[in-house]
Structure 1
Amino acid sequence: MSRSKPIAIVSGVAVAAVLLGVVSYTATRPASPGAAGSSSVAEVSADPSAGVYAELEAYARRDASDKLALGRADAPVVLIEYADFKCGYCGKFARDTEPVLVEKYVDNGTLRIEWRNFPIFGEESEAVARASWAAGQQGRFWEFHKAAYAEGAKEKGFGKDRIAALAKEAGVPDAARFAKDSEGAAARAAVSADQEQGYSLGATSTPSFLINGRPIAGAQPLETFTETIEAAAEAARAAKTAEPTGGATKPGSDSAR
């Protein structure tokens, strides 16, 4: 896979690199009311187009067969998460924030979540990233994700035996296939592709997010995500309303749901 990207998205990527590069949860946490001189990468404006880079929406795969995604492929809003299973703040997001977003937005068809393995903490990070992909090949990615991000899980490490135990906890049916897939070329290629995409955006810390082309850095409070998702959904509805109407459906095309 080439590291070069289409020229049309270069400007958006450059901006995202500034927003996502070298950040941490502490540095990007929204300022407390009344705090002076503070700002947040994830600040949400009343303008639904503020901070949104349309070029970056192309990073959403919207592949219905993607086993590391949750929600409808045609959902109006796509949240892409670049994360590492050894990242404490990624675990915080997975335990505290993501379940709320799933219940509130994924379940009603508003939101799709697309996972990107972005291991940055060494060999164990790489190994558990490949393992998560392997679990996904047997339809158990999100169960593996939950087990790997459980409170205290990362403190136990992600050695070979521990990864096998997580797969069992996640209900991966074929342990032999899981072990083989985890070390296979396909898993390495999939993780590498996710890493390249994250690095192309300038992400150097985890978690980092894109929500319909809006970069967010760090495990921000729930309100940052709900406000961003709702603004993106409103923008998507407005764009749909603005589409020309009255045209005949082309032969062989699918009608909108």
Structure 2
Amino acid sequence: MLASAGLVLALGPTATVAQTLPPVTTADRTIGRADAPITVVEYASFACPHCADWHRFVYPLLKTRWIDTGKVRLVFRNLPTPPAEASFPAAGIARCAEPSRFFDAATALFHGQDRALATGQVQPWFDAAVAQSGRTEAQMDACLANEATLTAINRDITAANAMGVDPTPTLFVNGRQVTDRSLGAGNPVPQPAASGLTRTPCSSNVCV
């Protein structure tokens, strides 16, 4: 998995090219029916503990009640936060998973995040995600070294920067940014004020 380290160095500054939420395309990583009446777009970092909270506590409710019943499609987009040596390789590993296994790899990353960041032992964390990715190690290394992987992650970052998205997780429901990151405890209806997850979100500069 040495190729994963290259992601930190290969991703440079991004340019502002868009001012609105980009439409969902086949390049996105999604779960749920494409014709679902509600689309939730999540900008998140695999090194952000608040994103891990969201995926441990909110995502299972959202999936059971709304995604699995055909009412919601969830779209994941990368917005890496410090430490870069953890968030960028993790983003690459998830991106390189088979598209149908993306959320399996993402779940492994979010569930193992606390231990990996607390101990600094990130390789077992990466390996656990690869095991859920549907790829062999050779396939994963080849994908991580592929410029297209870097381009896809940079595309997410560029769009987020253009919209002024900074805290993670940031959520959009049918194109509208919402402040309630708990989504009403799994009910994806925009709320007027933050509730549910009360920890201060991560930013591009700090995640505490």
TM-score range, shorter chain: 0.7 to 0.9
For residue 111 of structure 1, what is the amino acid of its counterpart? V
Aligned mate of 1:79, from 16, 40, 54:
40
CA distance in structure 1 between the partners assigned to 2:121 and 2:190 by the alignment:
33
Within 5 A, what are the aligned runs for 1:105-124? 105-121=66-82, 122-124=84-86
Match of 1:204, SS?
Answer: coil
**Which residue among 157, 163, 171 is the counterpart of 1:209?**
171
How many pairs are equivalent?
Answer: 175
Match of 1:226 in 2: 187
- Structure 1 residue 221, shift from structure 2 partner: 3.1
- Deviation of 1:213 (Å): 1.9
Identity %: 24
Q: What is residue 191 of structure 1 aligned with on the other side?
A: 153
Is 1:149 matched up with 2:110? Answer: yes
Partner amino acid, structure 2, of 1:60: P
Counterpart residue number, 1:165:
128
C-alpha spacing 1:158/1:130, structure 2 compared with 1 (3 Å): farther
Q: Structure 1's 103 and 229: CA in aligned 2 closer, same or farther, altered over 3 A?
A: farther
Q: CA deviation at 1:4?
A: 2.6
Does the aligned pair in 2 maintain the 1:67–1:136 contact within 8 Å?
no
- Provide, for residues 203-246 of structure 1, a one-character-per-residue CA deviation record: whole Å limited to 9, x for no partner: 1121001111221247x33516515169xxxxxxxxxxxxxxxx
Q: Distance in 2 between matches of 1:150 and 1:2?
A: 32
Q: Trace 1:115-134 onto structure 2 (pairs within 5 A).
A: 115-121=76-82, 122-134=84-96
The separation in 2 between residues aligned to 1:105 and 1:167, in whole angstroms, is 27
1:20 counterpart residue number: none
Q: Distance in 2 between matches of 1:97 and 1:117?
A: 18
Secondary structure class of the residue paired with 1:144: helix
Unaligned 5+ residue runs, structure 2? 1-13, 192-208
- Distance (whole Å) between structure 2 residues aligned to residue 158 and residue 187 of structure 1: 24
Residues in 1 aligned to 2:89 and 2:147: alpha-carbon distance in whole angstroms: 13
Show the 5 A alignment for 1:10-159: 10=19, 13=20, 56=21, 59-61=22-24, 63=25, 65-66=26-27, 68-121=29-82, 122-137=84-99, 139-150=100-111, 152-155=114-117, 156-157=119-120, 159=122
Provide the C-alpha distance between the structure 2 equivalents of 1:164 and 1:179, rounded to a whole number of angstroms.
Answer: 12
Length-normalised TM-score, structure 2: 0.74
SS of structure 2 residue aligned to 1:147 = helix
Q: Distance in 2 between matches of 1:193 and 1:116?
A: 9
Alignment RMSD = 2.6
Q: Separation in 1 of the partners of 2:188 and 2:42?
A: 17
Per-residue deviation at 1:173? 3.7
Amino acid in structure 1 at the alignment position of 2:94: S
> Any gaps of 5 or more consecutive residues in structure 1?
14-55, 231-257
Contact 1:128 1:163 in 2 (8 A): yes
TM (norm. structure 1) is 0.61
What amino acid maps onto 1:203 in structure 2?
A: V
**Native 8 Å contact 2:79 2:160 kept in 1:** yes
Deviation at 1:109, TM superposition (A): 1.2
1:165 to partner: Cα distance: 3.4
